[in-house]
Structure 1
């Protein structure tokens, strides 16, 4: 019998504060509900124990300032490691699909990590993707983010990667953190239209949600043909969530899961601990396992409770049509007209860490190469206000790097080591799975290989 794998990790010893919305009860109520319904006794359900990710698994994905150990606790390593366990079990055909119900969450953690933002320090899904590509030779990955908050961290990490399709539908960033995720954010010059964002108006309900799934997400996935589909399974689009303003139901989440057929799902947001999470997670698990979920219903919900506004539906349909047109014409796009024709595509970013109150100013340069996605250069300054700003220089070489870009990237790294402008300098070579960090003050360099 094909199995659905589950991992629970409530992270009892990690919390931002005792009363913070992101706390251990998010999973405890869910686990009680699942046991009460007898789900764990189903023959097609297989539970796995959590495991630790390595520091190198993190460094393969992130530039943690000043080092990985500075930004992660054991709870973070277990949450990320649990996704890797699910990935191994999937590739080894122990399961047909899996759901990592873990915390802390991760989809707001970007390539550079100065601290915690959006309750996230490291990006569980991104770490999983890089692990699967390195350890198991997975080539093409699709990530579908269903959180009410735009998955800006996941987008940032894969914005220039043509082999990772990132689709995020979320509450309009003009009305909610992190204020990003608009339809013009489509990926860099080497990965144009590999990022698709669907900012939904507040109040959007099931009908419009499933319209987006049927008319945009599924056709694009069918065309992209990923080797694996990962659902970044945020549940704060639920109508009772205290941090969002959407009107999705548990039944709609299950319908979405049934249609998407993700290979792996990883829990992200969702803060209605009693009124949403036990029902949504139960419905998702039943959908993954191929069981009947039609009787899963929140106590205060009745069919027809939420009527979709037709003007809102028309607005979303227009957006879906535009995004689908962009996807279908991605290979005809005039890349030079969109991004310029210089040696580098350059972009300045301002990033706010709402949990740790850090202001980051970042300058990103991507080598525009006809033979590969090009290496990435990042200059970043993190300012905590009461402390001396931390300045870093980082170089990231992609999996698909050509020899010319790889050699040039190492030259850039070595040149940066001689400059006085930076405190820490990093090299992340995904093509050889090598991560190097150089502490300018100490004059020390650390090299790790996978």
Structure 2
């Protein structure tokens, strides 16, 4: 008997692949569905299945600016994957169910605000699209995204980096040992959002013990302090000990207990590439935990690959609890210091590689702050990419935040028009996050 009503959205994307035999393929969901049917979970009246729908281009453009345009970089499968997340969000917000899990592909957490192609199996960021949809449709403000994928969600970090109302927490295998090579504690957000981007890089070999030590010692306290209106689980499952793309030691029980503790309102499938040995059992455990059902008997059939956790993993966890805890709980003081130091503008440069397409991007991002407390200002992006499917590309992008005042809106447009007049860029684009429009000047 389930304690919670749970909505499930499945979309295996039969018509989309990166290449034949690629780890990110439709079987990731088909084996899971077979397992759920075998366990009779679809016969449980508290578990309701929903069909996905197509997201609109405006939904994507609240989170992304595609170069030359997002519509030219995606397929209907991407719109359906994102749309499945929006269906899950609607089901929860309209109180048809208490929680929802979108088991969809293609995944999304490596897709950054600017999109030139596919990187880390991702083209659009389905969680970020859902977050912006929740804000536009339901006026939800404070949202926590907890990313349990073994790879750092560098795309989600990028989209939320300037947003103090989104708490992004990612625990992952240390970026010095795994793609994408990022995700360290000092990547904590831009000055006005400092401390709301939480990175917890774990040593290879970390298992259930270390993971729950980290959750109990830090993550739960951060969530309690932030007090989000909604918790979203970016539910990557490649921390599993059998996953072929990583080196962690988490079990299906470890994941299920984590889902039970987290109590996420909405979960969205991300990575996980042990298609037969892990995904059916991990997903079943997460679903049972989200529904408030007994998950104690969910055990993988083959535990031979599971290794004992090295004590050094716990030492790293304890170090992160101390270091990142201090960073988070002192974030307001640090934010004020950083804002005073940078003045009205903060800038960073990024070198971005699209591993699936060999695209190399150089990007300069500038955040322009406003003296008005109610205004979040605007930010600009200068991007130059080599080797895209459209050739070499360059663009100047101005991004209008949701809480932008008329004065800053005018300044943002003036900056874009000045760049258009200089003629240095192939494209000059203006993204309005609130409306989901991207204007090509």
TM value normalised by structure 2: 0.96
Alpha-carbon displacement from aligned partner over 1:132-167 (angstroms, at most 9, x marks no partner): 001110011100000000000000000000100000
Partner of 1:442: none
How far apart are residue 401 of structure 1 and its match? 2.0
Whether contact under 8 Å (2:193, 2:335) holds in the other structure is no
Alpha carbons of structure 1 residues 339 and 145: separation in structure 2 relative to 1, 3 Å? farther
| CA distance, structure 2, for counterparts of residue 425 and residue 337 of structure 1 | 30
Instruction: Indicate the SS of the match to 1:340.
Output: helix
CA shift for structure 1 position 345: 0.5
Alpha-carbon distance change, 434 to 8 in structure 1, aligned in 2, over 3 angstroms: closer
Other-structure match for 1:393: 396
284-293 vs 335-344, which moves further: 335-344
- Aligned counterpart, 1:128: 130
- Asked if the contact 2:141–2:229 (Cα under 8 Å) also holds between the matched residues in 1, the reply is yes
Name the counterpart of 1:21.
Answer: 23
Partner of 2:323: 322
| Paired residues of 2:379 and 2:400 also in contact (CA < 8 A) | yes
**Residue number in structure 1 paired with 2:360:** 359
Aligned equivalents of 2:312, 2:110: Cα separation in 1: 31
1:157 aligned residue (159, 162, 170): 159
Deviations 1:331-390 (A, max 9, x none): 122644588323210111000000011000000000133423321100000100897420
> In the TM superposition, what is the alpha-carbon distance from 1:403 to its structure 2 partner?
3.0
Q: Partners of 2:306 and 2:239 in 1: how far apart?
A: 16
Tell me what 2:257 maps to.
255
Give the CA deviation at 1:436: 3.1
Equivalent residue, structure 2, for 1:419? 422
Task: Report the equivalent of 1:441.
Answer: none
* In structure 2, C-alpha distance between the alignment counterparts of 1:299 and 1:77, rounded to whole Å: 35
TM-score with structure 1 length normalisation?
0.94
- Runs of 5+ in structure 2 lacking a partner? none
Match of 1:307 in 2: 308
Residues 1:377 and 2:380 are matched in the alignment: yes
In structure 2, C-alpha distance between the alignment counterparts of 1:408 and 1:69, rounded to whole Å: 28
Q: For residues 217-263 of structure 1, what are the alpha-carbon distances to aligned partners after superposition, in whole Å with 9 as ceiling and x for unaligned?
A: 11101110111100000000000000010000000100000000000
Post-superposition CA distance 1:87-137 (Å, at most 9, x none): 111110001000000000000000000000000000000000000001110
| 3-state SS in 2 of match to 1:165 | strand
Please name the residue that 1:409 is paired with.
412
CA distance, structure 1, for counterparts of residue 431 and residue 388 of structure 2? 28
The CA deviation string for residues 30-78 of structure 1, in whole angstroms up to 9 with x for no partner, is 0001000101111110000010000111111101111122111000000
Please name the residue that 2:186 is paired with: 184
The answer to which of 325-334 and 375-384 deviates more is 325-334
Q: What is the Cα deviation at residue 308 of structure 1? A: 2.4
Q: Encode CA deviations 1:303-354: one digit per residue, 9 max, x unaligned.
A: x954322222112211111111111111122644588323210111000000
Name the SS of the counterpart of 1:230 in structure 2: strand
- Paired residue secondary structure (1:155): helix
Distance 1:167 1:2 in 2: 25
Whole-Å Cα distance in 2 between the matches of residues 10 and 78 of structure 1? 10
CA distance 1:134–1:338, shift in 2 (3 Å): closer
Distance 1:30 1:332 in 2: 46
CA–CA distance in 1 between the matches of 2:146 and 2:297?
A: 26
Cα deviation digits, residues 397-444 of structure 1 (max 9, x gap):
11122333222112222222222111112111224x152332xxxxxx
Query: Matched residue of 1:222: which SS?
Result: helix
For structure 1, the 5+ residue unaligned runs are: 439-444, 446-450
Report matched runs for 1:210-249 at 5 Å. Answer: 210-249=212-251
1: CA distance, partners of 2:158 / 2:271: 18
How much is the aligned-residue C-alpha RMSD, in angstroms? 1.7
The count of residues paired between Structure 1 and Structure 2 equals 437
Are the aligned partners of 1:394 and 1:427 in contact in 2 as well (CA < 8 Å)?
Answer: yes
* Distance in 2, Cα, partners of 1:374 & 1:23: 41
Q: Distance in 1 between matches of 2:146 and 2:381?
A: 26
